[in-house]
Amino acid sequence: MRKTTTAVLLAGATAAAFAAPAAADEHEATVSVLHGVPGLTVDVYVNGEETIPDFAPGTLTDPMMLPAGSYDIAIYADGDTPDSAEPALSAEGLEVPGGANLTLAAHLDEGGAPMLSAFVNDVSATAAGEARLTVRHAAAAPAVDVRAGGSPVIEGLTNPDEEVLDLPAGTVSADVVLAGTEDVVLGPADLDLGEGVNTIVYAWGSAEDGTLDLAVQTIDGLHSAPEGVPSGQGGLAAPGALLVLALAGVAGAVVAGRYVARAERV
């Protein structure tokens, strides 16, 4: 692991944030966090206080209303403390933008190197009777097709891209296959696509290492202006959303310039 700074990474996240519809309070951001780097558990200190102990792979937090402002972050290997070790990663003066709805994900790229992505969540209104399905490829795996009821609905999805579909509400059986084949790599899994809900499915982990898995996030209330706090899974105290700005650096593989370019494409 190496110590680095994430100020440039935050600039990219800020660019993505202002492309999203505004949150209810322009002085806050709605932030969810996905930890999708297998085998990496960390302790997170925010403004000098331990905020997230034992943050484990596969965790997807509840959405948090994070006040806009400046934060200092220090990331330690699980079990280390400021008294016993230097942080694996530290960043000071991280500015959190208001008025955004984001999921920040630390995950593996196609080749298995840890990376960071900022996804802008689509909270625009859906039509009556419709649900939204968002699929995000965040795994060390080649291009995939996503099937619903055995038929491809998304084809050739590559890491770290996403596809967003508006579909009739209802329960669908979905699986993930290698692009152009019948070789199932994930699923099948039943997805309850609720009316007016954006169901966001992440494929994360590594195909080669046998750690592929799914994480599911939901954002409801899309039939009207998105003024409520989105629903989600897990639970975490507020400043912890900043963790993901650093996780890939803890793993020793963030390239800041590449991340900024990727964030601008979101």
Residue 2 included in any domain: no
Residue 1 included in any domain: no
Count of domains forming the chain? 1
Can you give the residue range of the structural domain that contains 37?
7-265
Q: How large is the average pLDDT for residues 96-114?
A: 83
Higher pLDDT, 39 or 46: 39
Higher pLDDT, 238 or 190: 190
Q: How large is the average pLDDT for residues 58-78?
A: 79
Instruction: Supply the pLDDT for residue 151.
Output: 92
Quote the CA–CA distance of 65 and 101 in Å, as a whole number: 9
Q: How confident is the model at residue 5 (pLDDT cuts 50, 70, 90)?
A: very low
Which of 5-14, 101-110, 252-261 shows the lowest mean pLDDT across its residues? 252-261
Higher pLDDT, 208 or 37: 208
DSSP secondary structure string, the chain?
------HHHHHHHHHHHTTSPP-SSTTEEEEEEEEE-TT--EEEEETTEEEEEEE-TT-BPPPEEEESEEEEEEEEETT--TTTS--SEEEEEEEEPSS-EEEEEEEE-TTS-EEEEEEEP--PPPPTTEEEEEEEEEEES--EEEEETTEEEEEEE-TT-EEEEEEESEEEEEEEEETTS--EEEEEEEEEE-TT-EEEEEEEEETTTT--EEEEEEE--TTS-S-SPPP-SS---GGGGGGHHHHHHHTT---HHHHHHHHHH-
Q: Structure tokens of 231?
A: 């629903």
Higher pLDDT, 136 or 43: 136
With a cut of 70, say whether residue 46 has pLDDT above it: yes
With a cut of 90, say whether residue 42 has pLDDT above it: no
Q: Is residue 190 within 8 Å of residue 171, measured between CB atoms?
A: yes
Higher pLDDT, 171 or 45: 171
Higher pLDDT, 242 or 101: 101
Q: What is the Cα Rg of the chain in Å?
A: 18
Instruction: Supply the pLDDT for residue 126.
Output: 95
Q: How confident is the model at residue 88 (pLDDT cuts 50, 70, 90)?
A: low
What are the pLDDT digits (tens) for 146-155? Answer: 999 889 999 9
Higher pLDDT, 258 or 203: 203
Residue 130 included in any domain: yes
Quote the CA–CA distance of 190 and 213 in Å, as a whole number: 14
pTM recorded for the entire structure: 0.73
Average pLDDT value for the chain = 75
Alpha carbon 224 to its chain centroid, in Å, reads 24
Exposed / middle / buried, residue 168 (Cβ in 10 Å: 0-12, 13-18, 19+): exposed
Instruction: Supply the pLDDT for residue 41.
Output: 87
Quote the CA–CA distance of 173 and 189 in Å, as a whole number: 6
Instruction: Supply the pLDDT for residue 105.
Output: 81
Residue 98 included in any domain: yes
Instruction: Supply the pLDDT for residue 262.
Output: 32
Instruction: Supply the pLDDT for residue 224.
Output: 54
With a cut of 80, say whether residue 53 has pLDDT above it: yes
